[in-house]
A and B are shown apart, each in its own frame.
Chain A
């Protein structure tokens, strides 16, 4: 009986292919939208996770002030000093190496070319802690750091802006009224999890930075600390130990809250990916509404189709079709239409999300579960919205139906 109903339904769809395709359009778009949104969201989450782990999975960051949550103002936040770094390295053995950075935006020029970029003063352990490699040249060493030599290392974006084809090593660039010899170029890393260009940077020894780039009032300051934790050691434990140490060094009373914040890269990744997950769910929900609208579209067309085919239904009933057979035929027709729409939607979503992830430079993460779910929902919509028209068809009086014009 179900096979017969399927055969009859498929014949009916084939008989009116144009109407059938227009009917399922809503479902196609709905399913495609849901899957595309979720795929893009998953891609974004995967990219953020990858970017954060490119920072190094064992990184602990210390920043001045509390991370602000909405409605909460940042309090007064003292900067760090170089002896903070030394104290942490000494007191917490789980920290393998530590570096500090201080930065200031500046216009940087080479001959006629110039660009605006953050100039960062840091220590020689910066590449090790931040997981950076060098594309050419070398990083500055301890001697240069201590002497406050005017040497610098360029990020790939800065190199591109100032030295289009040639090697910058050995050349002198100018910023803030000083000249600085380029000794190396960092290997590119691309965008950070926050969407910043990590390669848009000029690095120089912290001493030289503090003396020549930093403003008079922040001469001794370090903006943030980055600590690399030894393999196999718990970053959470280091976060706690650093917090305790800093409270002690700053002589904070137990009732005072931290005037700095310590977090590890895992926390950043979690915070960011939970944001994208919420966004994904939101977009998916909006797209699901269009799926519902698609279902109503099917019901509309099926109701019109029942009216239009009244005589045909009368003929079927006269020939000896049971009420249940007519019901099943129309129900199967609706389900076949909506499932077909679901399949088309999945195909469209694959094409669209592949194209979009390529265009947006996101990884293409295929989620089979959401595709199965979308397909099941579209079939379910067929049952749900096909039932009313099907019952109307089945309950027709054959005499009235045969007389229908």
Chain B
């Protein structure tokens, strides 16, 4: 699964997702098609229940579509086992959550090096990379602080450092500024934009704030289980 194809980084083909069965069945995605090329910064918007969370879970390889195809780097994710998808996440994806999800009573450095532990890197390399990542998000000197000793903005930056320390191909951010004030939000957006432009990390961000979506180069607007509007649909058309 490591070979890179010349095609898009992500391709969704007729993806549907149905929860439950029979009378209680609920179709969260009703046939979604789009491509995302490497290096894009895409904002995903839409009201709750529109299917944007479902599509993010599928793109993050946490869930599989009920039907249709999801190609990540040309790999059919819908056919992969739970562990294979875990390995895909480990090697290619980074996650940033609205609630930060840092380990409590654990220093920033240890939080950031966690994905490297699962990659089996030796201690010295783990520390060097974790420090570099913390440096990149502007938290030099805060390595040994625990989440309780950091502000919300700082915590989110630690979370971003944890997401990028493995140099992922795709960064998935689920409402990364949802818990932050506008000033802190701008800082986080600047950080994400910088990572996208200077480090070539493809960023996919769910948000319901148009000001945050404005930072992205492309916006996918979900409505009622389908992509209602794509600001650069010409890019994905083929």
Contact = CB atoms under 8 A, between A and B. Distances in A.
B115 interface: yes
Contact of B63 (A1, A8, A320, A399): A399
A75 B1 CA distance: 93
Contact of A320 (B91, B99, B101, B110): B91
Given A322-B83, A322-B87, A399-B57, A316 B114 contact: yes
Contacts of A15: 103-106
A311 B147 CA distance: 15
Contacts of B60: 318
Interface string A375-404: 000000000000000000000001100100
Interface residues of B, number: 29
A314 B117 contact: no
Interface string A314-331: 111111111111000000
Nearest to B104: A15
A144 interface: no
Given A4-B118, A318-B62, A16 B105 contact: yes
A7 B123 CA distance: 11
A312 interface: yes
B57 A321 contact: no
A319 B120 CA distance: 13
A303 B235 CA distance: 50
Interface string B105-128: 110001000110111100000000
B204 to A, nearest CB: 14
Among B57, B104, B106, B117: residue with most chain A CB under 10 A = B117
Given A7-B117, A319-B115, A321-B118, A312 B57 contact: no
A240 interface: no
Contacts of B208: none
B95 interface: yes
A32 B114 CA distance: 37
Interface residues of A, number: 24
B214 interface: no
A322 B86 contact: yes
Contacts of A230: none
A399 B91 CA distance: 19
A141 interface: no
B62 A398 contact: yes
B30 interface: no
Interface in B65-107: 82-83, 86-91, 93, 95, 97, 99, 101, 103-106
A11 interface: yes
A324 B97 CA distance: 24
Contact of B89 (A8, A314, A320): A320
Nearest to A15: B105
Contacts of A317: 62, 86
Nearest to B84: A322
A323 B63 contact: no
B28 to A, nearest CB: 12
Given A320-B91, A323-B82, A399-B63, A315 B118 contact: no
Contacts of A319: 89-90, 95, 114-115, 118, 162
A318 B57 CA distance: 10
B118 A323 contact: no
B124 to A, nearest CB: 14
B83 A320 contact: no
A8 B57 CA distance: 26
A319 B172 CA distance: 11
A1 B106 CA distance: 21
B110 A11 contact: yes
Given A311-B101, A318-B60, A398-B62, A11 B106 contact: yes
Contacts of A4: 117-118, 120
Nearest to A4: B117
A1 to B, nearest CB: 8
Nearest to A312: B103
17 contacts: A8-B117, A11-B110, A15-B104, A311-B99, A312-B101, A315-B95, A315-B97, A315-B101, A315-B103, A316-B114, A318-B89, A319-B118, A320-B91, A320-B93, A321-B86, A323-B82, A399-B57
Given A4-B120, A15-B103, A320-B87, 6 more contacts: A4-B118, A315-B101, A318-B95, A319-B90, A320-B90, A322-B86
Closest 5 CB pairs of A and B: A320-B90, A320-B89, A315-B101, A15-B105, A319-B115
Interface of B: 57, 60, 62-63, 82-83, 86-91, 93, 95, 97, 99, 101, 103-106, 110, 114-115, 117-120, 162
